[in-house]
Every structure is written in structure tokens, then in C-alpha cells.
């Protein structure tokens, strides 16, 4: 399966034009109608885009091309730009336990609730998650660039703030835990 999938929704003419020159693209092209759209499981696709000439609010991840005629190279440019945006957005979301950490917006989500984080808070969460257990000296060195002999409470202060935010927003008292081997995410 191609990593990029373009679905042309209810516009057979646009599909035919793009399908004629598909060897020039780095994405797969498919035509779908409303019935097929409703049946498709888009979770199976890594990076997909639905292009339509109709302004339909029911279609997600959609590029609307409602001004026609347009030069085909302009349409392809818009499609490629949309794929790039999708890829950037997909790479920015990291699953951490039951949460989603969005690195672009620096927010952590669970269901409909989200919480703003600072850049350092994101870095700290990512470092702890990637190391499973991280001790104070490792965090100081890798997240802040401090030498191991420097006495500071920066890490503890940031962890305290993250814990406080997680309790206030999600009532999660166990997000960052500590044992004799170091900090870890629950």
C-alpha cells in the first residue's frame, strides 16, 4: 500500500485527468462516491487526502477545489502541499499512555480535554517516555544540557508543575512516577 492515498470524491472528470498523468505522482489515486466514502476505514491509511469540488462539511481531511477551471499544475501543487501538512501533523502526535502529545501545539490530550505545556515540559515528557526510566542526572544532562555536578532543582520543579497540571486537568495523580531507578510515565 502506498504511503500517500488521494481520494477524488464525486468528481469523475478530475479523477480522469489526474489518473492520466498518475505516473508523475508519488501518491495513489482513487475515485470514491458518497457510499464508498462512508464504507472506507481511513484509519488504515497513513497519509490520505480527500479532494472534492463540492463544499461538503461531512468530509474530513479534505481539500476543496471549488474554483474551476484551474491549471492542473496548481491543483497538483495544492494536493502535494496538503499531503505535506498531513505528514507534519501525523508526525507531531505521539501516544503517551492514554494521552496524545501534540508537539506542534504543545498540548496533551485525552478525550475532549487538552492541556497546554511548555516546550521544556514536552521535552521532559518525551525524554522520560523514551528512556522508560530516567534518573535526575540523565534528565539534567539531556533535557537541559547541565553537567552532572551542578546542584539544581529544575527537574523536580518541572515535574512538580507537570504533575499539578495533570491533576487539575485530568485528575491523573500517577502520570509521572518515581522509584529508586528514576522517573517514569505511568
- Mark whether 37 and 112 lie in a shared domain: no
The predicted structure's pLDDT at residue 100: 92
- Mark whether 82 and 10 lie in a shared domain: yes
What is the span of the domain harbouring residue 121? 97-185
The predicted structure's pLDDT at residue 147: 67
- Mark whether 177 and 154 lie in a shared domain: yes
- Mark whether 51 and 29 lie in a shared domain: yes
The predicted structure's pLDDT at residue 43: 81
- Chain-centroid distance of CA 78 in Å reads 20
pLDDT in tens, the chain (186 residues): 457 899 999 889 989 999 999 888 888 999 999 899 989 998 888 788 999 887 777 787 888 888 778 888 888 889 988 888 887 777 788 889 999 999 889 999 998 899 999 999 999 999 999 888 899 888 988 888 776 666 778 899 999 999 999 999 999 999 999 999 999 998
- Mark whether 74 and 119 lie in a shared domain: no
Q: Is the dihedral of CA 91, 48, 23, 66 positive or negative?
A: negative
- Mark whether 180 and 122 lie in a shared domain: yes
Last residue of a domain, one of 65, 92, 119: 92
Q: Is the dihedral of CA 52, 54, 60, 65 positive or negative?
A: positive
- Mark whether 18 and 65 lie in a shared domain: yes
Phi, psi of 61 (to 5 degrees): 50, 55
CATH number at 71 reads 3.40.50
Rg (CA), the chain: 23
In this structure, the strands spanning 47-52 and 4-9 are parallel
Q: Assess contact for 75 and 65: CB atoms under 8 A.
A: yes
DSSP 115-181: EE--HHHHHHHHHHHHHSSB-HHHHIIIII---TT----HHHHHHHHHHHHHHHHH--TTSEEEETT
Domain count, the chain: 2
Q: Please tell me whether the overall predicted TM-score, pTM, comes out greater than 0.85 for this model.
A: no
- Mark whether 88 and 103 lie in a shared domain: no
Amino acid at each position: 500500500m502506498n504511503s500517500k492515498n488521494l481520494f477524488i470524491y464525486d468528481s469523475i472528470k478530475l479523477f480522469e485527468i489526474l489518473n492520466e498523468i498518475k505516473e508523475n505522482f508519488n501518491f495513489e489515486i482513487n475515485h470514491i462516491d458518497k457510499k464508498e466514502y462512508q464504507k472506507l476505514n481511513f484509519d488504515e491509511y497513513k497519509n490520505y487526502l480527500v479532494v472534492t469540488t463540492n463544499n461538503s462539511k461531512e468530509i474530513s481531511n479534505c481539500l476543496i477545489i471549488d474554483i474551476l477551471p484551474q491549471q492542473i499544475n496548481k491543483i497538483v501543487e495544492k494536493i502535494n502541499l496538503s499531503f505535506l501538512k498531513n505528514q507534519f501533523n501525523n508526525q507531531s502526535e505521539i501516544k503517551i499512555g492514554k494521552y496524545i502529545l501534540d508537539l506542534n501545539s504543545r498540548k496533551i490530550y485525552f478525550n475532549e480535554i487538552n492541556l497546554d505545556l511548555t516546550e521544556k515540559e514536552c521535552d521532559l515528557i518525551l525524554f522520560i517516555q523514551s528512556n522508560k526510566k530516567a534518573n535526575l542526572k540523565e534528565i539534567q544532562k539531556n533535557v537541559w544540557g547541565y553537567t552532572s555536578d551542578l546542584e539544581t532543582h529544575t527537574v523536580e520543579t518541572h515535574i512538580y508543575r507537570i504533575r499539578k497540571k495533570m491533576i487539575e486537568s485530568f485528575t491523573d495523580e500517577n502520570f509521572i512516577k518515581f522509584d529508586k531507578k528514576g522517573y517514569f510515565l505511568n
